[in-house]
Amino acid sequence: MTRKIIIDTDPGQDDALAILMAFASPELDVLGITAVAGNVPLALTELNARKICELAGRSDAKVFAGADRPLLRPLITAEHVHGKTGLDGPELPLPTMRLQEQHAVDFMIETLRREEPGSVTLCALGPLTNIAHVLIRAPELAPHIREIVLMGGGFFEGGNITPTAEFNIHVDPHAAQIVLQSGVPVTILPLDVTHKALSTAKRVDRFRAMGTRAGDACVELLEFFERFDEEKYGSDGGPLHDPNVIAYLLKPELYRGRTCNVTVDAANELTLGMTVVDWWGITDRPKNAYYIRDVDDEGFYDLLIERIGRIA
């Protein structure tokens, strides 16, 4: 039985690989892709989402544009990491598939009302603004969501946009608060995991060996994307973040974590966007998220490369 998902994203090179992986996995039924402002402004994230769909050979997929700014804060973007287009690296052609006219939030609400309650998983690869808007406008739909699986946050590894905050959460901490307080089952793939999934030279070579358009594009995406983190961390390859969301859905046995309380600081300048994880159960705050800390990184890359290798 396939798992119905909506991919909420701000592509982003790592988002691109996550979307390719999802399309190449028959276990997943991608109902739609919703774009949000994050790595770059909305006009580019929705364009990039359509480019990736066509790279995957899925021009039939539906892409919707959503929120162009966080709930309460000015938008912060990350061109210094992802390049001016957000998808720098390969020369991907302008897409011929059209952007859907419906707003992403309306699409999510309509889909959650139409599908059987508890059957749709929301896969969040960027800031949580679109999903927060759904929960604000239609809180009665929270029980309809099977799960929200998100890439975001960091506790043991600290932050990557500030010393304490991971980018996706920092961009819209108020949206993250709403998601974590919604009562919807939440699984978090934080920096604590993704920093263990490095795109080493040997792993990039496995994409190169595919000899396909998709494989070649992944090489160019990874080689551009990893340059920033290699310089920052002094590592062989950079962390590959967003595909972990899709890999978790396909093979949760690759990951280890625990259910605990996770809160977000949305008030203090120094720690704005910090995810505070009660890993040791020190407080009596209710457990509200499955927080993943470890990954079988070899198994993750084996799965990622096997799936993307299916795309011509």
Calpha distance 52→47 (Å, rounded): 9
Tokens of 74: 């000015």
Partnered with residue 294 across adjacent β-strands are 256
154 by Cβ neighbours in 10 Å (0-12 / 13-18 / 19+) ranks as buried
Q: Are 247 and 22 in contact (CB under 8 A)?
A: no
- Whether 241 is catalytic is yes
For 240-278, b/e burial (b = at least 16 CB within 10 A) is bbbbbbbbbbbeeebbebeebbbbbbbeeeebbbbbbbb
Q: What are the distances in angstroms from CA 30 to CA 67, 235, 266?
A: 20, 34, 32
- Whether the bond between 12 and the residue before it is cis, its omega within 30 degrees of 0, is yes
Tokens of 88: 């720098």
Tokens of 296: 């079988």
**Angle ∠(173,89,310) on CA atoms, nearest 5:** 90
For 74-113, b/e burial (b = at least 16 CB within 10 A) is ebbbbeebbbebbbbbbebeebebeebeebbbbbbbebbe
Q: Which of 82, 133, 170, 241 is catalytic?
A: 241
Calpha distance 5→28 (Å, rounded): 7
End-to-end CA distance of the chain: 25
Catalytic residue numbers, as ranges:
241
